[in-house]
Each structure stands twice: as structure tokens, then as C-alpha cells.
Structure 1
């Protein structure tokens, strides 16, 4: 399978001041998909403009035709499966079936306590995520769902007419731990990783590569346990968090080398951040566009 190239467009610009243009340009450049973070705020952007993921994706759907769209990623930090399912079904309809739900357990950052809840322990986060994914799968696949869980409930939740994509829109499950990988194997149409955070700060590119290789092997084991072939899942690498950081975007050759090595591990999609000046995602826009237009042909 050829390697697909996608991008993440952070929702920090007003729609009338560059927001619309970026999504349209992403389609013009030939990206497979354009995603956005589903956060209430994020790190260095916390004290500046930041817009909601769902309205942003709806607007992007209205000004594009072929580009796949999605979250990377949505989490239980401030979402409830019942209301989220309704919004996702609406997005899938507006976009004509172009939505992918990137979904993860969520981090310990700003979103985790914005609703004034106590921070969850890693185990509580994993427990919630398992229930979140399981219920969301049903809500997006069935006309009516009633459910009583440890964390979430639904009483005759109606989701008619359902997703344009059948039996539901695809899940891209972000996971590195054993429980998350089991969820990816069971419910995912794709699996997402940013690499290994243990080596991202002080490790070497080779250590990161080997850690990611280990993640792929664990995903394969999780699939084998339930009788699924790991090749059935797309494998998505979100760049910008491995030791290379945005050095991946320093040149076309640097990107092709990085992407090609990870393609050998079975990755089917590489995602790069749209350049943002004076941020963690600063990059030369001309090089970024050259990568978008020329890298895929070199990686075939």
C-alpha cells in the first residue's frame, strides 16, 4: 500500500483570517486528510485564540470536496459519548462521509480539569476510555441505544439516520499501552501513535524508531489475540513528537528518509503539522508545500 500524507491544522486562527484558507489549501496540495486537535486549549496556545473542533470541521467540510477530515484526537476529558455521537453523525452528513474520528484516552493537561473535576488516575483514564469507545461504537452503529455503565449512561439515545459511512464512520484509536492497543485491535479502522514519550525528549531517532517498532509488534499481538490480521488496520504516525521534532520538515529529503523508514514498519499514513510561526510547529512553508506535493511520489 502506498503511504498517504496528511496534515493537522490547529484551530487558532479566525475563519476569516486564514482559517478557511488553510483547509482549502490542504486540499489543493493533495493531502489525504486534514485533522485538528479536539482540545479546549493546548500548551503554548492556552492564552491565545483557540476554536472548537466540531464547528471548525463542519466549516472545513463546507469549503472542501475530497479531503478527509477528522479529529486527532478526541478524548473523554470533556466529551460525553451521547452528545459526541450526535455531532459526529451530523459532521459525517455535512461532509458527505469524509469524517474520521481520531480518539484517545486524553492527557493530563488543561482539558483534564477544565470542568472542575479531580484529575483522573492513569487507571481511571483507561477505564473511562474503554467504556467511552465501546459505547460510542454502539451509538454510531445503532438507531437506539440504552446503556448503564460505570461512567456513562444512555437512555433510548436516538441516532437516526446514522452515519453516511457504514456501519459507522472509522475510528483511528491512539494507544500505546496494552489496554488501548486491545481497543484499537477491536474497534479501530486505524491505529495512531506519536512515538514513545519516554524517548521523545532525550532519546535518539534510532531509539525512537525501535520503540515504535515495539509498539507495532504489540499491536500485532493484540490483533492476533482476537483473530484479526494487523494489516487490516491503517497505521498512522503523527509527527512532531519524536526526537526529530520538526526536523522532519527541514527538507524534502529529510522527510522522505523519515517517512520511508517508518513505512517499512507498516505505517500507511504520516501526519505533519501545518506550520505555525513562533511555535513548536514552526517550519518553512515553502518546504512544507514541496513535501506535500512531491514526497508521496518518492515514497511509492
Structure 2
């Protein structure tokens, strides 16, 4: 039986478009990858002191440079986005790409770019406020993309007055949401609004956990998604299940037990097969970046990208 698993990549926006940026997106299409995503941050982790370009302009350029590859964010968050302005950018991206955009969306982290738009003495959002903002953000964005004319809304965190997004999305009823979530509240949001669900695993296991513990945690998350879908009256099989790799114990650059899955073709095929059996329909691998946690042999990466799914 043919596996339904699809393989995608994340291309971090750290390269000038004329110096390797364009080439990576075009190569992702040539390799037959399902999708190529980018992170929507102002800067991120160890890349803070180097180049980092905007997600929306990067995806716009990628849409013009490719013709088949799906494109998207992985993920956008309320940290520095507003639903009204984001909706306008998304319908534009969807139009330019001729319906190839997926919006990965999450509650956002607590890193330095989460507070860039705030006063230096402002208190960080509590976990509860972050979850509350995320729920309101997703619901309003969903409505803005489905109702292209005169959306008015007054919320606890976001407002809109006669917001217009004509002509609406190329993809109907709107472009797909891939909702990142691990806990019950986020999983309910994915079940209610998502066409896909995204996870990086249990972050508490990354440094000290084992691959077996990570696998069990992912199974628990999938069970939670099934429960949330049942409560929302949805069939869980309607949602794609996306695993963004690089943040589970088997990918840890120092504390991993043995080689990472990305270090050998057979190792990756085994990793992908086990997670496909668990229920994942899409696995996302970072495009190799030397001297980083995502360092990998680029020729091996290309072989994995073009051949691994066919081995399952």
C-alpha cells in the first residue's frame, strides 16, 4: 500500500535572495518536496546576530520563483501580527501563488522577538493571556478570510471595523490553517479551525528525554487531537498531522543517543516510517545550515528529500 506521508522542508530566511535564497526555494520544488515553509519571526535564537529577512516578502518572492510547491509559514503568531493586516497579506500571497499558501499559526514563544514591539518595562504575557490572545486571533482571522466584506469585531485583544478583504482567497472557503498546539486548549482550537495540526513534540524531552519517550508523547498528542475533534464534531482524519522535526531528542545535536535520523538515509526512512505509522501525514525537515543545530550533509538531505518517501 502506498504511504500517504509527504515530506516538506523549512528554509530559514537568512540568505539574500540573490545569494542562495531563490536557489533554495527553486531546488525544493525540483526535489519534489510537498511544501517549503519559513519561520515568521523578527529574528530567532542563535541567528539573532546575523541576517534575517521577513517571512511575507520571502514567500511572495518564492511564489513568483516556483509554480508547484506549496508555500507557507511555520508558524505565524500574535507576537507581532494583527489579524486585519495579516489577512490582507495572506489573500495577496494566495493570489500571487495561485492558491499554494498554507498558514502555519501558533501561540508564539517567549523569545526576544516576542517583546520587540512592546515597552522595555512591560510585563510579558502570561501563559493564560497568550492562549487567550491566540484563540481570539485565530477566530477573527478565520472570519476575515471567509467573509471578505465589512467584518466588524470588538474583542478583548483585537478589533476590526468594516474590514474588507475583497476578492477573498483563491482557495475556498479560505486558505488552509495548520494550527500548532500541544495542550488540550490548543488542540481544541486546531480541531475547530485547522485543516492541519502541527507539533514539534514535547519540548521538555528535547535535552534529557529519549526517542521512545518522545514517540509516546506524540502518541498522546495525537490521542488528544482525536478527542478534541470528536468534541467538535469533526473526523480527525480530515486534518493533516504535521511533525516539524529538529526538536525531539533524536535530533538533539549533543545529547542524542546515536546518530540523528538526518545523518543517514536508512535512519531517516526508519524514523519517517515509524511516525507515519503513528498517524503523521507530513514530516518537515530543516534545510541544512552549517554551524548550527540544523547542520547536515546537503547531498544526503537532497537524497532524503527526493527518495525517502518512496522507500516507505
TM over 0.5, yes or no? yes
Tell me the equivalent position of 2:178.
172
1:200 aligns with 2:206: yes
Tell me the equivalent position of 1:248.
261
Aligned-CA RMSD value: 0.8
Tell me the equivalent position of 2:52.
50
1:107-156 CA-to-partner distances (Å, cap 9, x unmatched) read: 00022110125310000000000000000000001022000000000000
- Range 114-123 or range 264-273, more displaced: 114-123
- Quick one: which of 274, 286, 296 aligns to 1:261? 274
Tell me the equivalent position of 2:136.
131
TM-score, with length taken from structure 1: 0.99
- Within 5 Å, which residues of 2 pair with 1:182-193? 182-193=188-199
CA distance in 1, matches of 2:297, 2:86: 36
Structure 1: runs of 5 or more not aligned? none
CA distance in 2, matches of 1:21, 1:69: 15
CA distance in 2, matches of 1:253, 1:221: 34
1:274 aligns with 2:287: yes
1:233 aligns with 2:235: no
Q: Which runs of 4+ in 1 moved over 6 A?
A: none
Secondary structure at the counterpart of residue 176 of structure 1: coil
CA distance in 1, matches of 2:271, 2:64: 33
- The Cα shift of 1:213 comes to 0.3
- Within 5 Å, which residues of 2 pair with 1:130-149? 130-143=135-148, 144-149=150-155
CA distance in 2, matches of 1:46, 1:226: 40
Q: Is the 8 A contact 1:40 1:110 kept in 2?
A: no
Structure 2: runs of 5 or more not aligned? 253-259
- The Cα shift of 1:200 comes to 1.3
CA distance in 2, matches of 1:233, 1:209: 20
1:121 aligns with 2:126: yes
Tell me the equivalent position of 2:84.
82
- The Cα shift of 1:287 comes to 0.6
- The Cα shift of 1:86 comes to 0.1
TM-score, with length taken from structure 2: 0.95
- Range 150-159 or range 111-120, more displaced: 111-120
How many residue pairs end up in the alignment? 299
- The Cα shift of 1:189 comes to 0.1
CA distance in 1, matches of 2:213, 2:200: 14
Tell me the equivalent position of 1:224.
230
